[in-house]
Every structure is written in C-alpha cells, then in structure tokens.
Structure 1
C-alpha cells in the first residue's frame, strides 16, 4: 500500500495558459481519486498568476521552480521570495540538477537560497542527486549526503518542518531510466537517518520525495517503499492522464 502523501509537478520551461486550464479542471474533476494526497504544481514564472487564479478554490498548491537569494536590487531576470509570495506561491524548488548543471549553482548559493526562502515562510523542496559517473563509481551516498549537509548548513531545527528533500538521480531525469525501487529506497533510508541526525525527531516527519522518470507504470511500486513519501514529477506532469495516474498511485 503506497504511503505517499505529496506529489509535486515540475513543468520546467513547458506549458501555456491552455495547459493551466486543462490540468486544473482535470484535477478538480477527479480530486476524489487522490484526496489524501497533497498536490503542488510548479509552472514557469509566467504562468504562476494564471495557475493561482485557477486553483483559488481548489486544494492544488502553487510552487515556483527557482528563487533568488536576494530580496531586491539590480539582479536582472531574478525573482525574490516576496514577489513569489505576492503571486500566491507557497513553496519553491531549490537546487534542481538543471540549475546546478546549466546555471552553475553551487552548494553555497543553494544554502543562501534556502535560508532566504525559509525566512519568508516558504516551503523549500531541496533537490539532490548523483550523476551516472558518480553512481558507477559507487559515490552515490557520498555525493547526496554532502549536497544535503551543505544545503542545510546552519538551518535551524525550528525551520525543519518547512523542508522537503527530493532525491533525483541525475542519470534518471528525462532519460527514461529510473532507479529501481530498491535503489531509491536505499538512498531514502539513508536520507531519513541523515535528516533525523540533523534535526532530531522532526526528521522522521520530513517528506522525502523521489524524482527521475516517474511514470504511471512505476509510480505505485516506488511510492510503496518505506521511506518514499511522494514524487517530484517532470515530463509526466504535463499530461493530464499520466499525472492523475501518478496521484492515484500515491493515494493507494
């Protein structure tokens, strides 16, 4: 029986106003099929306001894919925590592998972003994961644990309740490859022990998500693992039927 309780859609640089209307209407009409699951949709910045309006009376939360560590100033192209909150955003993805790889975000900057988001009372979804060469070299846990420790350095225990950790093996993102349920659970079990070590008992309640080519045909088995509390969904979150099936798999 799946124990998942949180499913987050990451649309990346995809989607339009039509998808916002289509997806929210579809989820609204089928909400009874996943009413025990919290659903968050993270669209591109340009669609946040549209999504917020469509979700106003629904139990679908709105998230952002990125945020600046700066509150204001001459930072062309950046968006601050206060601007996100004013737009109706409740959580933000930080440290996604594409931000690390394509935009050179490092652990120190990710740590600053997390602290800024937490101080603004935003929920943080910290993304971590190893690439293929690191997995092949047996470095998976060394890489993942260091990313978590660096990202959460000096984060107070009082803020732990606003943190989600999403394990996304880089080699599985958008490739069609997926960590086996056993591989994913092994990392999540270690993550559970790590967040308990960092934050104490509250770490047992901190949601741990799996991401990386989650699809309708593998979601149930992934979500059935003891320490996997839900998913961070990429490509499948752009298709109404697929995303509904994943939410249903989380419901059990």
Structure 2
C-alpha cells in the first residue's frame, strides 16, 4: 500500500496578505482543490494507494462537501487537541482547541500529528517557562494520537531530527516513536519521516541512502509500520523516492518553489504520476 499525503498548511492566505494562494477565492479554496483532483485520482486503485489531504480547519466542511460519492480523497485536519468531549463528561470546554470529535463531526478521516512545526511550537512554549524537555513534547503528542484514534481518525505521525540532534538521530527517533506511540493501536498509524535539519531554503536534502537507512530503522522499531517521506515529495525527487523499497509514499506541500510560488492541483497530480509511474 502506498500513501500520498497533502499538507496544505496555510496555503489558503491570499498573496496580498503575505500568503501564496492565487488559485481560488478563499471561500472556495478547498472546494477548488478537491474538485480539480478527485476525478483524476480515480484512475488509481484505492486498494494500492491512499490519498489524504490535510486542510486548515476553516476549509474542512467545504472540502468534504466537494467530494463526490466515489471520491478517493480522504479529508484530514492539521492536528487535534489532547483532550476531548465525552458522553456524560466534558461537553465543550476547549476554547481555541480543535478536538478530534469536532473534526470527526466535520467529516475528517485523518489527522497529522507531530509535524516538526507542531513540535517546535510546543517546545518553544516550554522554553518560555525555562524547560527544555523533548520527552514532554512526545508525551503530549501521545495524548493527541490517542484522542484522534478514539474518535475514529487515522493518524499520520511525524518524526524527525534537527541539526542539533542529527548526531544522535537513532536515540531521538526511537524516543519519538516509543513515547509518542505508547499504548496506541498501530493499525491506525502511518509514520512520516521529516529530516528537519534539511528542510528550508538553501538546505541540502538527505541522500537516497540516508532516507533508506532511516526508513529501515523506523520499520524495525515499529514492526513494519508504513513510512512515508515527510521532507517534501516533489517533482524532482519523486522518482528517487519511489525507488526506495522501505518508503511507502510521501507528504506533498508546495508544488511550485519559484516564480508564482504556491500549491497548484495540476502540479500535485503530476508529482503523483511521477511517483507512481503512471
């Protein structure tokens, strides 16, 4: 089984407000993306490949409403809170927090948890209190994963090492897996490996051999969970990534990195064509 994930981050913001959206008015943005990809994705066998798109919360309902009955797209959200509503319990005291039950009610089937940007945010909050504890970050993420699965969502769980952690990558990734997935139904989880040290303008991406080494390690640590490349599945690395047996797919974000920077549905489909070879 192959997994193609799409993380749309805040690509909905118009360019005149500092964003990268030039494809559709913001109120029609998610509808535009779904409607301009789902028919073309139907040529793939959903027994062999799964497509999930992670939208900002404001666009989840529109994305779900744009799906056709036989759409191959699974709609996902960008993270969930570490606590949730419960019958006979807390019915909604979660101001500013997106709970798993809330997005499940909106039609989500997936969520992404532990993305390097989320890990960075949690660690920065702790640093403001004078605490530098990556294990605590993993414990918080574990609660999020548990709540997501309890609500019926599948989880793309992200792991990765920063430049400061690269020398001890094995220990760092092992802790992220062991703590973050402790007590979890692993049949509901896909792992995304993010080489945090290599993400960003001017950074040198990891080699095929490095990615293969990490993916092999993760599969060994998790008894064979699917592993996708989270450092960015792109047109220029799709063929290389598809040649790594231990890699089961990828996470796409921007599709154009120069000129009219942004996400474009036709380029997303082309990346998938290159990766799958059809």
Partner deviation per Cα, 1:171-211 (whole Å, 9 max, x = no partner): 23343642222111110000010001xxxxxxx3x321111
Tell me the distance in 2 between the aligned counterparts of 1:194 and 1:174.
28
Structure 1 partner of 2:210: 183
Tell me the distance in 2 between the aligned counterparts of 1:8 and 1:101.
21
Structure 2 partner of 1:42: 54
Tell me the distance in 1 between the aligned counterparts of 2:154 and 2:37.
22
Counterpart among 216, 231, 241 of residue 235 in structure 2: 216
Tell me the distance in 1 between the aligned counterparts of 2:2 and 2:210.
20
Structure 1 partner of 2:197: 171
Q: Which runs of 5+ in 2 are unaligned?
A: 13-25, 86-91, 124-135, 256-261
Distance 1:242 1:139, change over 3 A: farther
Structure 1 partner of 2:38: 28
Tell me the distance in 1 between the aligned counterparts of 2:111 and 2:164.
28
Larger Cα Rg: Structure 1 or Structure 2?
A: 2
Distance 1:39 1:128, change over 3 A: same
Deviation at 1:232, TM superposition (A): 1.4
Distance 1:68 1:56, change over 3 A: farther
Aligned length: 236
| Contact 2:190–2:227 (Cα < 8 Å) also in 1 | yes
User: If the length of structure 1 is used for normalisation, what is the TM-score?
Assistant: 0.86
CA RMSD, 1 decimal: 1.9
Structure 1 partner of 2:79: 66
Is residue 142 of structure 1 aligned with residue 165 of structure 2? no
Distance 1:153 1:28, change over 3 A: closer
Tell me the distance in 2 between the aligned counterparts of 1:162 and 1:82.
16
- Aligned with 1:178: secondary structure? coil
Tell me the distance in 2 between the aligned counterparts of 1:229 and 1:17.
34
| Contact 1:71–1:82 (Cα < 8 Å) also in 2 | yes
Distance 1:95 1:38, change over 3 A: same
Tell me the distance in 2 between the aligned counterparts of 1:32 and 1:52.
16
Tell me the distance in 2 between the aligned counterparts of 1:166 and 1:222.
13
Distance 1:118 1:231, change over 3 A: same
Tell me the distance in 1 between the aligned counterparts of 2:268 and 2:27.
18
Deviation at 1:111, TM superposition (A): 0.7
Tell me the distance in 1 between the aligned counterparts of 2:229 and 2:205.
10
Structure 1 partner of 2:111: 92
| Contact 2:242–2:276 (Cα < 8 Å) also in 1 | no
Which structure has the highest helix share of the two? 1
Tell me the distance in 1 between the aligned counterparts of 2:40 and 2:209.
31
- Aligned with 1:139: secondary structure? helix
Tell me the distance in 1 between the aligned counterparts of 2:171 and 2:270.
34
| Contact 1:95–1:126 (Cα < 8 Å) also in 2 | yes
Counterpart among 1, 10, 14 of residue 11 in structure 2: 14
